[in-house]
Amino acid sequence: MSLSEIFKDAYGAEPTGFWAAPGRVNLIGEHTDYNDGFVLPFALPQRTVAAAGPSEDGRWHVCSTLIPEPVSFGTTSPGDVTGWGAYVAGVVWALQDAGFEVPPARIALDSDVPLGSGLSSSAALESAVLTALVDLGGLDLPVEKRPALAQRAENVYVGAPTGIMDQSASIRCLEGRALFLDCRTYEVEQIPFDLAAEGLAILVINSNAPHQHVDGEYGARRKACEEAAAALGVRALRDVDVADLPEALAKLGDDVLRRRTRHIVTENQRVLDTVALLREGRTREIGPLLTASHVSMRDDFEITVAQVDVAVETALESGAYGARMTGGGFGGCVLALIDADRAYATAAAVAAAYEKKGFTAPDSFVAVAGPGAARMPGNQ
């Protein structure tokens, strides 16, 4: 069934239109967001589509092809709607809280962003719904202000303490570009990232590793970074320049804090170095930076698991220019920069390595930099 038919089936009416917002992968810059640092995500071709139209009863009604139970709600506050509906109710709430008159709406969602794999299905959902509601209501909300509202929905309403990256990527990315985002100022720059033109590809390998202790470990990393920043007398670890790192590390008594700090400071520099290379069209040369990022996450930030380490090692053995885990860690996805014609061979090599280790089989796909959230032309 098309999404149009699903909408009609659920609500007995035609949708006004369709709005799509993508998932994302972060090319480099991991755990730097909440340290006021730099990230470099790009939008995936996979996206969430919202078919939407007005609702006559003053409430919001949402259904999803991925979840059996639809959700309905009126005006709510954080905590009132839980489960997957919280992402949608959170967007309505964040808009209302910012003073907007949000149009009551009926929404049907479909998505090919895998849920809970670190490709940010949550931001894709929030961004698709936000864009639909802004357009339906004719709300005066410039694109650059939208990510923070979607982030509030996730932080305050859903209760997930994430940074600004996911929503910024889903809303602001452009086709053929990576989004260089300064997480302190929210300034963005569109960086050329046209892999196909250079015969390159990014292979994304979903490790399918079971997520374990993710929330607790994430909280512990954040706390360590805050402690280190306080001990160094800076607002955030972003304020430690890589040239001053040895001096900073000497000031920190605790070895764990030292390693966490070294990851963040060197990772920020790797983002800057990656951006500099991409600006010059030297895409292959970012490979070693990707791999160095992985080593830093594995040894200093300690957020990788065996499945992602094996995927990175195997991709490199198979000829990748560089490879790293992407996303918060403890599972999730790996990305590898490869020659475009090596995608199948690399994916097969990783699958074989997983089989040998007795891991759950991985899923792989080739990612190109797609567009950010937008209304879609025509019918779906």
- Provide the binding-site residues for ligand ADP, judged by CB under 6 A: 48, 64, 66-67, 84, 87, 109, 111, 115-122, 125
The item of ligand ADP, Mg ion, none sharing an interface with residue 11, based on CB under 5 to 8 Å by kind, is: none
CB of 219 to Mg ion, least distance (A): 16
Nearer CB in complex with Mg ion: 122/346:
122
Q: Of 119 and 350, which has the nearer Cβ to ligand ADP?
A: 119
Residue in 110, 166, 241, 254 annotated catalytic: 166
249: left (phi over 0), alpha (psi -120 to 50) or beta: alpha
**Residue 118 site contact among ligand ADP, Mg ion, none (CB < 5 to 8 Å, cut-off depends on kind):** ligand ADP
Give me the least distance between CB of 65 and ligand ADP, in Å please.
7
d(CA 222, CA 75): 33
Q: Is 268 in the site for Mg ion (CB under 5 A)?
A: no
Of the pair 119, 205, the CB lying nearest ligand ADP is at 119
Indicate the SS3 state at residue 286. Answer: helix
From residue 108, alpha-carbon distances to 65, 70, 273 in Å are 8, 9, 42
Please confirm, yes or no, whether 166 is among the known catalytic residues.
yes
**Shortest spacing between CB 116 and Mg ion, in angstroms:** 8
Please pick, from the candidates 48, 122, 127, 293, the single residue that binds Mg ion as defined by CB under 5 A. Answer: 122
| Binding partner at 84 among Mg ion, ligand ADP, none, C-beta below 5 to 8 Å by kind | ligand ADP
In the bound state with ligand ADP, the residue whose beta carbon lies nearer, of 66 and 148, is: 66
> Applying CB under 5 A, which part among 105-113, 120-128, 170-178, 364-372 lies near Mg ion?
120-128
Structure tokens at 372: 């950010």
Nearer to ligand ADP, 125 or 236 (CB): 125
Under the phi-then-psi rule, with left for phi > 0, alpha for psi from -120 to 50, and beta for the rest, what region is 129?
Answer: alpha
What percentage of the chain's residues is helix, strand, coil (to nearest 5)? 45, 20, 30
**Least distance (Å) between residue 229 CB and ligand ADP:** 26
How far apart are the C-alpha atoms of 10 and 98, rounded to whole Å?
30
CB of 255 to ligand ADP, least distance (A): 31
Residue nearest Mg ion by beta-carbon distance: 122
Inter-residue contact 157 to 89 (CB < 8 Å): yes
Q: Is 57 exposed, middle or buried (0-12, 13-18, 19+ CB in 10 A)?
A: exposed
Minimum Å gap between C-beta 117 and ligand ADP is 6
Residue 67 interacts with, from Mg ion, ligand ADP, none (CB under 5-8 Å by kind): ligand ADP
Q: Under a CB-based contact definition with an 8 Å cutoff, are residues 121 and 115 in contact?
A: yes
Residue 109 binds which entry of Mg ion, ligand ADP, none, CB below 5-8 Å type-dependent? ligand ADP
Residue 115 or 220: the one with the smaller Cβ distance to ligand ADP is: 115
CB atoms under 10 Å from CB of 14, counted, come to: 12
Show Cβ contacts of residue 372 under 8 Å, excluding neighbours closer than 6 positions: 21, 22, 43, 127, 169, 170, 171, 172, 173, 174
Q: Which partner, ligand ADP, Mg ion, none, binds residue 362 by CB below 5 to 8 Å per kind? A: none
Amino acid at 290: L
Site residues for Mg ion, 97-116, by CB under 5 A, read: none
Identify which of 296, 225, 235, 222 has the alpha carbon closest to the alpha carbon of residue 266: 296
Phi, psi of 257 (to 5 degrees): -60, -35
Catalytic residues: 166
Which residues of this chain interact with Mg ion, rule CB under 5 A? 120, 122
